């Protein structure tokens, strides 16, 4: 989309400046850029192990406090995810990243694992076998710090499209030798960075146009 500029002079200068400002906003909003696709981390009684809630922080004076999921350092524990691909997706590469927090000042590495499977919607594709992605990051040395880890290498989805779904399982790969952080690691959130080129599609359902 080419940026439009309307020339203005005299009494029309204020109105023209406003019009140009609106065009400028439209120009920037219509450009390509990154968004997050988000999900909640949910448990399931059928999983081999589910991280329990632990008090993450409080007001320091006996409040109920904020609780979060604590992933054990000796037993693999998992939470389930489901990501919906938005309209306007413009690239086959998606970047998973995990928001987490160390509970101590330890600087060992936490190794997060993500088992996933993808399929397009509208009966275009079936869910097949799962794949794995691993993300490793050392503790910052500050307890309860908000850390975010994202791999430089993306997941590539050749058939990505609106209304596709990524189903997954986030776990701490604590039995791997690379996981050296001692103690529970708090799993806060997981999302994907995806590249989009517009806010919408001409058609509500498949084919999206």
Cα distances from 157 to residues 38, 169, 196, 205, in angstroms, run 17, 17, 14, 20
The answer as to whether 60 is a domain residue is yes
The CB-based long-range contact list for 66-69 (8 Å cut-off, 24+ gap) reads 68/101, 68/186, 68/187, 68/188, 69/41, 69/186, 69/187, 69/188
As a whole number of angstroms, the distance between CA 159 and CA 156 comes to 9
**Shared-domain flag, residues 13 and 50:** no
What is the pLDDT, as a whole number, of residue 37?
Answer: 77
The per-residue pLDDT for 178 is 98
- Please say if the pLDDT value at position 153 is more than 60: yes
Of 94 and 88, more confident: 94
Please give the average per-residue pLDDT across 8-37, as a whole number.
57
% residues pLDDT > 70 (the chain): 76
Quick one: 9 and 104 in the same domain?
Answer: no
Assessment of whether the complete model's pTM goes beyond 0.85:
no
* Predicted local distance difference test score (pLDDT) of residue 110: 98
Tally of domains within the chain: 2
Token pair, residue 121, equals 């919607």
Q: Could you tell me the residue range of the domain that residue 156 belongs to? A: 33-196
Q: Is the pLDDT of residue 171 over 80?
A: yes
Helix (H) or strand (E) segment spanning residue 133 = strand 131-138
- Are residues 27 and 89 both part of a single domain? no
CATH number at residue 46: 2.60.120
**DSSP code for 10:** G
Look at residue 24 and tell me if it is in a domain: yes
Mean pLDDT computed over 34-56:
79
User: Do 133 and 71 share a structural domain?
Assistant: yes
59 in any annotated domain: yes
pLDDT above 80 for 94: yes
């Amino acid at each position: 989309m080419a940026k439009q500029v309307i020339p203005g002079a005299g009494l029309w200068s204020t109105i023209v400046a406003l019009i140009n400002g609106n065009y400028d906003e439209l120009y920037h909003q219509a450009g390509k850029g990154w968004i997050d696709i988000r999900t909640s981390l949910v448990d399931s009684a059928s999983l081999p192990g589910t991280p329990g809630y632990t008090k993450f922080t409080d007001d320091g004076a006996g409040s109920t406090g904020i609780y979060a999921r604590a992933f054990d350092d000796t037993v693999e524990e998992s939470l389930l995810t489901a990501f919906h691909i938005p309209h306007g997706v413009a690239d086959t590469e998606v970047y998973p990243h995990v928001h987490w927090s160390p509970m101590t000042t330890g600087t060992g590495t936490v190794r997060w694992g993500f088992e996933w499977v993808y399929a397009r919607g509208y009966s275009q594709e079936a869910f097949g076998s799962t794949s794995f992605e691993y993300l490793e990051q050392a503790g910052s040395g500050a307890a309860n710090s908000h850390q975010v880890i994202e791999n430089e290498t993306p997941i590539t989805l050749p058939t990505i499209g609106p209304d596709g779904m990524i189903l997954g399982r986030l776990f701490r790969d604590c039995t791997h030798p690379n996981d050296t952080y001692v103690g529970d690691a708090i799993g806060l959130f997981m999302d994907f960075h995806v590249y989009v080129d517009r806010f919408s599609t001409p058609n509500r359902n498949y084919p999206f146009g």
